[in-house]
Structure 1
């Protein structure tokens, strides 16, 4: 039996050549890549080629499933392809056909790069504005999440790229980020199962894999998070009648790592209903690989059968979806929540306030250069000064200011923003959900973009100037 089939590993933890030696020994089902594994398309292509060579040429086994988290919005590993603005953007637009198209375009472009597994979409419900979920969710309405999740799944899988519904049974009702600690969901069983409705729709849509969350659901299991809980896994496998692949969230996250030892993780995952352990750190992956070899093969056999089924190719559409529709829709689909029109003939400051990512899952930040390039291509000759300076440095008054930021309810800077809006003509472009509109000064214009994607920001800027309704 090839024991690496039960592992999805990242390359973190050692130098590149050393990681490739680990890959050669382990021969995992999948290698998950992150943005810091490559700088451009050439490096990505060369890396995938090296990995495939180890499998196909050196070891005479099928190429692994190269995987990424290409969710769209703030969680994007490959920034140069036409990625989704964000799930919340799609949910607010509420056009299922467009969401299906976004899935198709994502699938086509990933497949073209040799990537056959996307750890998306997020099907968590936006409850309580969990800071690690936010615009990664399609919204707060279960029907909307289920509908758009299913369409994205069908779209991406039509180009032979496996989708992953995550994070079962739902990560949206806890405020703690499982990358840094173990969240506890203290709701009753009925509420938890109710929020898992979008996963039923994903199963109906034929989703290839479902990822378990690192959340402790007290009413289901007082001791273990979903990734290690027999009760939660039985709920998915038996109550939901799910027959495809179950994968864990990464076992190097602090919700699990350091809290449970390797043998306990193996017992709670692979010895239960989990088929594949994800671990971003390759040294840790080797520990799991060695432990899995001690498991009775009779227990592993049904998992191996599901994995073999997972590896079977889908019938792939032959035509290329045009990216023009994506670019058109994302430019016009931001929403003016509080109108204030700026004068294009007067100088203005464009302040991109989020100079670093707020979550460990996000790797792609807004780029001042990309926003300015997009605006320059439109040849509007706006008198804009670009900056990322913090608000305390803005001493002048009587200026036009466009502030671009995310999740003001989680920050102390909102008081500075409101003070500035009392002395200047300001518009705020929100790149996340619009739950903070109530704390942003009524003197300030407010536009919901639901995304950090530069093209979406540009569309919102055009609305701030009154060029679009």
Structure 2
């Protein structure tokens, strides 16, 4: 039987408990997502990551580290990265239509990607869920200044520049939230946003970066948003969105990572409230390769254990199939090449140059 480790879990504290170790050893666990509560300082983070890797060398240690309002590690030397909107604004500060603003902005975005990736890797973190490819319509409560710009062409070029910087640090990337979370006002963490535009309108605007970046994106995170003109299910649970449109029409070949299963947008499918296991099975069957469950390790973490057991049982019953291709896409997100340790990074000319360029 082919192996496939689709679950990305979290832990409650700054060090592993016995329960954490058991969960990480589970063959269905493929990733660990870190939050601010898992951070004390760099030394602690490195020790934590080293222990995780001693249990499972191939586990993907990830974090939401975008810059601006979404950056989990901010102290003990970590650079405070600007929100992505800062690069869009830089682009627009053009001197007399010469394109100098655009050139400066793309270079600065690459610098930010390099600093972001290199600092995380120096602490043994593998992967960040970045960049945001949503368009800045000025309406979304949850996206806001996390977006580069309103124009999908600018978004694509700036995101590609940021991803170039990540790549120089040996880090993969994650475009989110497919096909676009920028148009809706509601926040999918607490609500199920509905975007009533036609497929044609969405493909022409919000989803355009996914097509233009299909050779560059390592992974994509779909939105917990319903687009009723296309499918009654949120994008992350929709084979139409993931298989037909993202993979078929837009030519994307990397990993699809569902958004957090504990968000409100994931708990209702076809109008019915579902368990975490049902949500995970629905996401995997719709075309997701990886499914994160966040913030359920707090307390006794029963929900995490129930999901591991439930997904195991669903696999045995044939309710979802382990996919070797999915597992290969997961492994492809692990970093490439040796990482510089923190002290070497701080003295590295590329790093010092990059810091000067970040707005």
Give TM class, smaller chain.
Answer: 0.7 to 0.9
Query: For residue 326 of structure 1, what is the aligned residue in structure 2?
Result: 355
Following superposition of structure 1 onto structure 2, how do residues 337-416 of structure 1 map, counting pairs within 5 Å? none
- Superimposed CA distance per residue, residues 271-294 of structure 1 (whole angstroms, 9 cap, x where no aligned partner): 221100111134444444332533
CA distance in 1, matches of 2:60, 2:106: 28
Query: For residue 302 of structure 1, what is the aligned residue in structure 2?
Result: 325
CA distance in 2, matches of 1:271, 1:328: 44
CA distance in 1, matches of 2:14, 2:276: 19
Query: For residue 228 of structure 1, what is the aligned residue in structure 2?
Result: 237
Q: How many residues align?
A: 322
Query: For residue 35 of structure 2, what is the aligned residue in structure 1?
Result: 34
Query: For residue 270 of structure 1, what is the aligned residue in structure 2?
Result: 284
Query: Do residues 260 (structure 1) and 260 (structure 2) align?
Result: no
Tell whether the 8 Å contact from 1:110 to 1:161 is kept in structure 2 after alignment: no
Query: For residue 77 of structure 1, what is the aligned residue in structure 2?
Result: 72
Tell whether the 8 Å contact from 2:28 to 2:308 is kept in structure 1 after alignment: no
Tell whether the 8 Å contact from 2:110 to 2:164 is kept in structure 1 after alignment: yes
Tell whether the 8 Å contact from 1:186 to 1:218 is kept in structure 2 after alignment: yes
Q: CA deviation at 1:29?
A: 1.8
Structure with the bigger RCO (C-alpha within 8 Å, sep 6+) is 2
**Pair 218,202 (structure 1): closer, same or farther in 2 beyond 3 Å:** same
Unaligned runs of 5+ in 1: 56-61, 331-469
CA distance in 1, matches of 2:156, 2:60: 26
CA distance in 2, matches of 1:30, 1:83: 25
CA distance in 2, matches of 1:244, 1:277: 15
Query: For residue 89 of structure 1, what is the aligned residue in structure 2?
Result: 86
Pairing partner for 2:207 from 185, 196, 216: 196
TM-score by length of 2: 0.81
CA distance in 2, matches of 1:314, 1:209: 19
Q: CA deviation at 1:144?
A: 0.9
Q: CA deviation at 1:301?
A: 2.7
- Superimposed CA distance per residue, residues 377-409 of structure 1 (whole angstroms, 9 cap, x where no aligned partner): xxxxxxxxxxxxxxxxxxxxxxxxxxxxxxxxx
| SS of equivalent residue, structure 1 residue 185 | coil
Unaligned runs of 5+ in 2: 92-104
CA distance in 2, matches of 1:149, 1:163: 10
Tell whether the 8 Å contact from 2:15 to 2:38 is kept in structure 1 after alignment: no
- Superimposed CA distance per residue, residues 190-235 of structure 1 (whole angstroms, 9 cap, x where no aligned partner): 121121112223323x22111111111111112x101111111121
Pairing partner for 1:237 from 228, 247, 250: 247
Pairing partner for 1:136 from 146, 151, 168: 146
CA distance in 1, matches of 2:14, 2:117: 30
Query: For residue 161 of structure 2, what is the aligned residue in structure 1?
Result: 151
- 4+ residue runs over 6 A deviation: 315-318
Pairing partner for 2:136 from 93, 101, 126: 126
- Superimposed CA distance per residue, residues 299-343 of structure 1 (whole angstroms, 9 cap, x where no aligned partner): 52332233344447369899653346535653xxxxxxxxxxxxx
Tell whether the 8 Å contact from 1:8 to 1:29 is kept in structure 2 after alignment: yes
CA RMSD, Structure 1 to Structure 2 (Å): 2.7
CA distance in 2, matches of 1:250, 1:38: 20
**Pair 297,309 (structure 1): closer, same or farther in 2 beyond 3 Å:** farther
**Pair 320,158 (structure 1): closer, same or farther in 2 beyond 3 Å:** same
Tell whether the 8 Å contact from 1:5 to 1:28 is kept in structure 2 after alignment: yes
- Superimposed CA distance per residue, residues 14-45 of structure 1 (whole angstroms, 9 cap, x where no aligned partner): 99513233223356221110011122212212
Pairing partner for 1:177 from 187, 191, 216: 187
Tell whether the 8 Å contact from 2:175 to 2:217 is kept in structure 1 after alignment: yes
Tell whether the 8 Å contact from 1:153 to 1:202 is kept in structure 2 after alignment: no
- Give the greater-gyration-radius structure (CA): 1
CA distance in 1, matches of 2:12, 2:28: 16
